Amino acid sequence: MSETRAAHVHDSSVPVEPPDVFDVAVIGSGPAGAQAAVSAAHQMRSVLVVEAGGVSQRKGRAFWNKSVDFLDVPVFPGITGPKLSQALVAWMGAQPGHVVTISGVSRHSGIWRRAGMVLRVTRGEAPDGATAPAGYLFEIEASTKALKPGVPLTVERFRARSLVIASGFEDVWPDIEVTEGADRLYQSHRVMFRYAGNRKGWHVCIRCDGHLHVDEHLAIVASGDFGWHVARGAQDFTAKATIFTNGEPPALSEARLAVLKERGIAIETEPIVAHIGRGNDLLGLRLASGREVMADGFFVDYGLKANREYLRPEDGWDPKVDDEGLLVVDDDGAVLGQDDEPIPGLFAAGDIVSGEYNLIATAFGLGQNAGLAAADMMRAW
């Protein structure tokens, strides 16, 4: 650290109490949230990052790439999901929360990370009734301890002048070998999760994992247009695929059915009742009739569920969303309301944004956009 800078920045190895009101709060610290936080802190803002991974199994889509290397993440030649998550934590840690003095005025800057599942966001009152400087106040309510049966929630509240939503989405999984009575997705679908994110397991993105199965036979478990899009994307990697609708009608137009037939892509409509696996490798699927179908790669697409349940309608939140429930934003990453106007102080980045590639480099780009826009909002003139 240069002498000039050292004179203005407190020793960052000494923990600094966080501010009462953060300049920017970020929900989620996958690629989009981490980048938004780093970009806003780089502009001297105080940034709170609330991340559910430490208190729940909601760890982000990137994390679930358990043993497959991402080949298209900037800078890394190849990196698994868990290692990327660690790298993002280290990256955010390079700008720890501290106090900076500029022209004799001290203020907080840098990143404070908290483990917490955000449950609710409301518009807050400015402290002592004053208007927040060049910003809008949000109150963020988060459950900050892992849930235990019979133990009440530990809920903490945080305040911020702007908010970046980077909480992504959850893939919807079909009900194959579900554990009855389990109320959490990761328990009810634990058999599917055993195979998910492995080289020989369930994949959710043909663009991401098609290269693992070049010229191999793919099982595509999806129905209607989802199955069509996966099969169409698969042509870059292989011509051999079968669509499994898992007991539903194919729900495809005559024209699409004709193309699939011409390409030799069969459609199986029998329900799938079980996995055929060895260790964490998925080898095939057992159908209701008892027939076993083996394949080399398994792709599933049942749609998605946007992680934005904390923007509750009863609290006045009514953002504009697309058919899948993803947020519509403007060029600055500002979340739009039903009137197509930006909702003041509210930004979004990454997979939760409508109309973008659901990919890591895109999430980084959108994260920078939203983080800088939130930081710029604080300028006094």
Residue 26 or 137 having the CB closest to ligand FAD: 26
Interface positions with ligand FAD (CB under 6 A): 27-33, 50-53, 58-62, 64-65, 70, 72, 117-118, 166-168, 197, 204-205, 208, 307, 310, 350-351, 358-361, 363
Q: Which amino acid is at 113?
A: R
Residue 30 or 319 having the CB closest to ligand FAD: 30
For the chain, how long is the longest CA-to-CA vector?
Answer: 77
Q: How far is the CB of 248 from ligand FAD (least distance, A)?
A: 23
Residue 60 or 345 having the CB closest to ligand FAD: 60
DSSP characters over 316-374: T--B-B-TTSPBPB-TT-EEEBTTSSEEEEEEE-GGGBTTS--SHHHHHHHHHHHHHHH
Residue 65 or 260 having the CB closest to ligand FAD: 65
Strands (E), 28-145: 46-51, 98-102, 105-115, 117-123, 138-143
Name the pairing type of β-strands 117-123 and 105-115.
unpaired
Residue 132 or 360 having the CB closest to ligand FAD: 360
The token pair that represents 60 in the structure block: 């982000």
**Angle, in degrees to the nearest 10, between helices 31-42 and 81-93:** 10
Residue 115 or 287 having the CB closest to ligand FAD: 115
DSSP characters over 259-328: HHHHTT-EEE-SPEEEEEEETTEEEEEEETTS-EEE-SEEEEE--EEES-TTS-GGGT--B-B-TTSPBP
DSSP state at residue 127:
G
Q: How far apart are CA 352 and CA 168, in angstroms?
A: 4
Q: How far is the CB of 200 from ligand FAD (least distance, A)?
A: 13
Q: How far apart are CA 37 and CA 54, in angstroms?
A: 18
Q: How far is the CB of 18 from ligand FAD (least distance, A)?
A: 17
Q: How far apart are CA 160 and CA 41, in angstroms?
A: 14
Q: How far is the CB of 188 from ligand FAD (least distance, A)?
A: 18
> CA-CA distances (angstroms) from residue 2 to 9, 106, 108?
10, 19, 20
Residue 23 or 51 having the CB closest to ligand FAD: 51
Q: How far is the CB of 2 from ligand FAD (least distance, A)?
A: 33
Q: How far apart are CA 188 and CA 207, in angstroms?
A: 27
Q: Which amino acid is at 229?
A: H
Residue 343 or 360 having the CB closest to ligand FAD: 360
Q: Which amino acid is at 183?
A: D
Only one residue has tokens 């899009």, namely 229
Residue 63 or 228 having the CB closest to ligand FAD: 63
| DSSP H stretches of helix in 174-223 | 185-188, 190-195, 206-209
Q: How far is the CB of 4 from ligand FAD (least distance, A)?
A: 35
Q: How far is the CB of 92 from ligand FAD (least distance, A)?
A: 12
Residue 33 or 297 having the CB closest to ligand FAD: 33
Q: How far is the CB of 271 from ligand FAD (least distance, A)?
A: 24
Q: How far is the CB of 37 from ligand FAD (least distance, A)?
A: 11
Q: How far is the CB of 339 from ligand FAD (least distance, A)?
A: 26
